[in-house]
Structure 1
Amino acid sequence: MSERLRLTAPLPSLDAWVEAFARAEIPVLAETAEAIEYMRAMEDDVDAHGLAQLIESDPLMTLKVLARANELKRGRSAGLMADPETVTAALVLMGITPFFRDFGRQATLEEALADHEEALLGLSRVMQRAERSSRYALGFAAHRADPDAAIIHSAALLHDFAEMLLWVHAPDLALKIAELQEQDRHLRSAIAQRQMLGIELADLEQALMKRWHLPDLLTRITNDKHARDPQVRCVHLAVRLARHTARGWDDAAVPDDLHDIAELLNLSPEHTLRLLHDFD
């Protein structure tokens, strides 16, 4: 049974963070919750593709569906079934009626953070960044004719889900990390996280993906430590660019991003920049 969680102090270990976040309720965007209720009322007319399009606009709803589908797979003839690596595949595995049965009216982020407007704003920025990252990553994968483009899209969308969950479950701590980085624009996220939380969110994210038995391919592509892998590089560079251009294209790190993306896509920097603006 999931529960509401509101942490105000760091936990003693990575295992403690994993345990707390794994048990906690994961709310979703209010517009996602409303759209699911609208579709529930016309269930007979809903198909997996249309429902997937709705879910994939919300990183945390995407996370919940993939976790549930892989839990179901483990309870069936796991060795005979492929991992559901996309939301569409997850919905096909689950079935539309069981989806609506398993996912009742969803708790919303707006309700969870109704008393913390600054945290809701911080979370909104991370989710907007995730949406841009996923768009870039899908564009890179499509340009490279990667057969796993849909999975790369999901990996970019989920890349920062631990940061999203931190804003939900420990908003004061998330705000302090944001303030540290605002005071020092050169402070790396991982260092700020270790200072404030005692862990890095990337490690928490990988541990939660394993705890929820998310597909190996999705887990690997989301892990920046495999940065030489072209699929991981698609996601890593998409996330990097979305982060550096969150306030505009004049960030000092953008030329380096442009160089690395041009190398990945085998294009000139000028052609790459035009392509990126098209994606945006």
Structure 2
Amino acid sequence: MLLLPIPASLPAWTEAFCDLPVPVLAGTQRALDALAQAEAERGDVDAHRIAEAVAQDPLMTLRIFASAARLATPAAREDRRGMPETVTAALLLLGIGPFFRSLGELPLAEAAVDPARCGIAGAPEGLATVLRRARRSANFALGFAVHRMDGDAAALQTAALLHDFAELLLWCHRPELADTLARRQAADPTLRSASAQQALLGIELTALEQALMRAWGLPELLRRMTDERQARDPQVRCVSLAVRIARHSTAGWDNAALPDDWTALGELLQLSPEAAEALVRDIDR
């Protein structure tokens, strides 16, 4: 496998990823092909059905928001209220027919991490691990938002699903770097993700995500919800805790960091740590 140089700065990383296609999951491609056929034959496919088909695919979700942003006016992009903040709303802006016609043969994430292609034996499982975490994060965020009676519950669910999309893109486009990161953290469970990323990549992936979301014109609401620098914002805390708990419980419920998570979640939801843990386990079931 040809080892490419590592971009030297956040702008260089952003430019590099902006020039690469965003792949989707093979299951999403099959589901959309079936819906496109149903639309052509019966004309009975609406935005809600498409949104349900892509709900578990953070990469396709990313593509849909970026496509909608390209259609929006500059004024709409500057105004939070002018941009769609859910996948369903973005699909309504795109239009069902034009959306299906724009798909073509999408690049597949599974092909990108095929060991025969990328030379990394653990790449499929590495991608799958991040996907599982993203889906659990989305479920947790939705559950926390419902408990808080937050009117932006659907957007919070989407924000949590998208929170680690840069790590997914790293597995697809630079699997050798993603694999090195995964190995370093597996060897040292105390190594913080941000520290490992800064040491190897020269950036933190959360910073790359924010830069790409701005470059692709994603809604301001989603950018804010995933911006961990705004840690006092209850919606940011909701997403951040969902992601933290999904990460810390990847291998089970005995991670030493989880007691602090239960305390923090209890403070957010006005629950005892024990009740917060019980809520999370119930959501996960």
Q: 2:181–2:196: 8 Å Cα contact kept in structure 1?
A: yes
Matches within 5 A, 1:32-181: 32-43=28-39, 44-74=43-73, 82-114=82-114, 115=116, 116-181=120-185
Aligned to 1:17: 13
Displacement of 1:271: 2.1
SS at match of 2:82: coil
Displacement of 1:8: 3.6
Deviation string 1:250-280 (CA, Å, 9 cap, x unpaired) is 0000111011111111112222222111110
Unaligned 5+ residue runs, structure 1? Answer: 1-5
For 1:75 and 1:31, locate their aligned partners in 2 and report how far apart those are by CA, in whole Å. 34
Deviation string 1:19-47 (CA, Å, 9 cap, x unpaired) is 11011011111111111101110111211
Deviation string 1:185-214 (CA, Å, 9 cap, x unpaired) is 111111111111111111111000000011
SS at match of 2:21: coil
Amino acid at match of 1:257: D
Q: 1:123–1:167: 8 Å Cα contact kept in structure 2?
A: yes
Displacement of 1:243: 0.2
For 1:188 and 1:118, locate their aligned partners in 2 and report how far apart those are by CA, in whole Å. 21
Q: 1:134–1:238: 8 Å Cα contact kept in structure 2?
A: yes
SS at match of 1:225: coil
Q: 1:28 aligns with which of 6, 24, 27?
A: 24
Aligned to 1:197: 201
Displacement of 1:74: 2.8
SS at match of 1:256: helix
Aligned to 2:239: 235
Q: 1:278 aligns with which of 272, 276, 282?
A: 282
2:273 corresponds to 1:269: yes
Amino acid at match of 1:41: Q
SS at match of 2:229: helix
TM superposition score normalised by structure 1: 0.94
For 2:74 and 2:274, locate their aligned partners in 1 and report how far apart those are by CA, in whole Å. 51
Count the aligned residue pairs. 275
Deviation string 1:147-194 (CA, Å, 9 cap, x unpaired) is 111111111000000011001110001111111111111111111111
| More displaced stretch, 11-20 vs 104-113 | 104-113
TM superposition score normalised by structure 2: 0.93
Percent identical pairs in the alignment equals 52
SS at match of 1:150: helix
Amino acid at match of 1:202: T
Deviation string 1:64-123 (CA, Å, 9 cap, x unpaired) is 001111111137976797211110010111111011011223221111222244112101
Gap change, CA 1:145 and 1:7, over 3 Å in 2 = farther
Aligned to 1:246: 250
For 1:119 and 1:14, locate their aligned partners in 2 and report how far apart those are by CA, in whole Å. 24
Aligned to 1:187: 191
Q: 1:258–1:272: 8 Å Cα contact kept in structure 2?
A: yes
SS at match of 2:104: coil
Deviation string 1:117-137 (CA, Å, 9 cap, x unpaired) is 411210110010000000000
**Which aligned runs of 4 or more in structure 1 are off by greater than 6 angstroms?**
none
